[in-house]
Structure 1
Amino acid sequence: MRLFQNNGLSRGFRAHRRETAYRNFAAGRAQFLDTRFTASHILLPVLTDSPDAFYTNGDDERLQLLWAKENNLRTDDLEQILLAQIEQHRTEVFYNLDPIRYSSKFVAKLPGCVKKSIAWRAAPSGNADLTEYGLVVCNFASILENWRQKGCNVASFFPAHDPVMDSYANGRAEELDVIFIGGYTRHHVKRSQAMRAAASAPGVRARFYLEDSRLTRLANALAPLPVLRSYRHPEDIRLIRADPVYGRDAYAAMAKSRMVFNGAIDMAGEDRGNMRCFETPGCGSVLLTDAGHYPEGFVDGETMLVYSSPEQIPELIGKLMKDEKLATSIAQAGHAMVKERYSKALQWTKFQELI
């Protein structure tokens, strides 16, 4: 199977990597893969450098223009470059993690060598059209149903345990009690309430690595302006805020904390299973997360710890701070579970079954 996997970069990660220099396309791609950003979603043949697998970030202008220059393609149009890469690779299966940028109109332009097109999309995404894809996949049942109602063929598919996490789990050195890694906007009302509750736990050593919205960053810098007040971090969160971390840096941060706090946003309803659910136990920390419908193997009190309301969070944090035996038991069981049930090998087998 000649596999082509395309990805897209988040705004925060793009800013984080802005100064990174690429010597050539191959070196730039290797540098990116080594960061382990979104590694839970990157398929095994890409990570093992299979000759039949091609990977790129189709929205990374610097990387894609290098490929175009090296292959004498005289264009700076990212769509044309991506199509040329697919054609040169003689792709049979196109797996796209950035389908809003490269939607049905793009699929209609794919060369004839492509026999199957699959899109990962874990959000409803308004009026986006993905019906030309042969399959839309993610691990949220309610979101898949939304895409099915829009006329897409859908199937369940999961993130996987990145084997690189094991070295972080084996070299843990707890410096903090609880951390949070993720986005923050004023629209994440439930998450914000839960974060404030976590920050208020007595005696807790906490740090929140936040990818803030543009207006939140502006509000924090210009606090006196009343019009921006609602975008500003609450004082208790601002005191423990740190810059966002990604990939290996996130792995290292999780390996230095007893527990990682997780809070879903509203788009997935009661479904749960964002990347942090897989990364946290993968790095040997306790997943402290909100109640909902979790994938198989995620069991409250055994492989994770669940809160039903913000009021419960300080008590649960205190419990894990005091009971090292309990925290170790949950962390170890969670780590063993994701390694066994959500391995890269099983993810790749499942993908082949979808094909």
Structure 2
Amino acid sequence: MYPSYRPRLNQLAASTQSFEERRRVFLHDRFGALHLLQPVLDGNADAFLTCANDGLLQRRWAREHGVGLKGAPEDILLAQIEHHRTEVFYNLDPVAFPSSFVRRLPGCVRKTLCWRAAPSGNADLTAYGAVVGNFTSILSAWRTKGCRAEWFSPAIDPAMSEYVRDERPIDVLFVGGYSWHHSARARTLEKVAALAGSRNVVYCLDSSRLTRLAESSIGYLLPLKQHRRPRIVAGIAKTAVFGRDLYELIGRSKIVLNGAIDMAGQDRGNMRCFEAMGCGALLVSDAGRYPAGMQEGVTIETYGTPEQAVEVISRSLQDWPRSAEIAARGRALIRDIYSKDVQWKQFCDLVGRI
């Protein structure tokens, strides 16, 4: 769970008292639903989900099950795994729970997997049965560190169908992170922001702590200029959105602008690609190696430089009927290729191989 998402969950779950009630609110809001496996979303009793870095959620479980609250967060998670008698442990936050945690797992656990497709520093994940993700270059990097690495994909959230609309008053939407990991993305955002004079352009930025510090009164006294957002970007930026609010915003947008993180090489297919297409918007993203179903000029549009991003967006808006057909074709195709049924089958096959 992103730290920036927690205030939203606290507000949505303000009236809840139990672990199950807070988790139910979390699941209904669909945060991270592209990663959540079908049995979790279906409420299958064989599947147990928790957010180990949500202290409030975890303390509730501990109190309800007589577990002491003085231990480390991993102690509560270990107690949950043992109580559930987990056989397959799938972790979406492995940097917080690396190999040292895996070695402490109870004997009921037979298979371990973790998803990782982001900067990881010196994290040791070698004790996991497999590191999974959909960026082949990052998987290769994990192999050089001694990990078994396997391709695995997100899946379209069925709830996205509730947000597909014909009327889309927002011309261009960008929602995402803004930090030193996104320098190429930042240059594109600056160029596209210039369209705000004639188009309805909306940016919702989840800025890094360093960016927020650089833009504070104290930050202007420190040598942090390179971490500040350009004025043209800061001038239209709103706070980050998550969950169903994100789906709602995409459903009201013609175009969703996307840009990969700098460390992904030529690999493409971050979460925003799936969210944009799943909610029926036209994905305009940087050129690279995309997953099956994401094809330039057929189901998505791509750009090579920040200047080209402006050209592609302008052209797409000028001929919106054609662009809308591309968006609709893209949504229909990836809904079939990346369904929750397909994802669950692939996961079961993967578990059987490791």
* TM value normalised by structure 1: 0.94
Contact kept, 8 Å, 2:9 with 2:26, in 1: the verdict is no
- Output the amino acid matched with 1:102: F
More displaced stretch, 324-333 vs 214-223:
214-223
Structure 2 counterpart of 1:309, from 291, 305, 311 = 305
Structure 2 counterpart of 1:40, from 34, 42, 45 = 34
1:154 Cα offset (Å) = 1.3
Distance 1:224 1:53, change over 3 A: closer
1:173 — aligned with what? 167
1:14 — aligned with what? 6
1:244 — aligned with what? 240
Contact kept, 8 Å, 1:180 with 1:260, in 2: the verdict is yes
1:187 Cα offset (Å) = 5.0
Contact kept, 8 Å, 2:181 with 2:261, in 1: the verdict is no
- Output the amino acid matched with 1:152: C
Distance 1:53 1:186, change over 3 A: closer
**Does 2:64 correspond to 1:74?**
no
Secondary structure class of the residue paired with 2:199 = coil
1:31 — aligned with what? 25
Q: Deviation string for 1:30-79 (max 9, x for gaps)?
A: 11111111100000000000010100001111000000000011234211
Q: Deviation string for 1:275-324 (max 9, x for gaps)?
A: 00100010010000000110011100111000011111221111111112
**Does 2:94 correspond to 1:99?**
yes
Contact kept, 8 Å, 1:287 with 1:304, in 2: the verdict is yes
Secondary structure class of the residue paired with 2:175 = strand
In 2, Cα distance between equivalents of 1:296 and 1:322: 28
- Output the amino acid matched with 1:17: L
Contact kept, 8 Å, 1:124 with 1:143, in 2: the verdict is no
**Does 2:49 correspond to 1:59?**
no
In 2, Cα distance between equivalents of 1:352 and 1:187: 33
Secondary structure class of the residue paired with 1:52 = coil
In 2, Cα distance between equivalents of 1:206 and 1:350: 38
Which ranges in structure 2 are unaligned for 5 or more consecutive residues? none
- Output the amino acid matched with 1:11: P
Structure 2 counterpart of 1:152, from 132, 147, 150 = 147
Structure 1 counterpart of 2:280, from 281, 284, 298 = 284
In 2, Cα distance between equivalents of 1:141 and 1:277: 17
1:126 Cα offset (Å) = 2.4
2:113 — aligned with what? 118
1:4 — aligned with what? none
Where do 1:190-209 residues align within 5 Å? Answer: 190-201=184-195, 203-209=198-204
Contact kept, 8 Å, 1:303 with 1:334, in 2: the verdict is yes
- Output the amino acid matched with 1:217: R
1:3 — aligned with what? none
In 1, Cα distance between equivalents of 2:127 and 2:66: 30
In 1, Cα distance between equivalents of 2:258 and 2:119: 21
How many pairs align?
346
1:149 Cα offset (Å) = 1.1
**Does 2:318 correspond to 1:339?**
no
1:14 Cα offset (Å) = 2.2
Contact kept, 8 Å, 2:211 with 2:228, in 1: the verdict is yes
In 1, Cα distance between equivalents of 2:69 and 2:181: 39
- Output the amino acid matched with 1:323: D
Contact kept, 8 Å, 1:124 with 1:147, in 2: the verdict is no
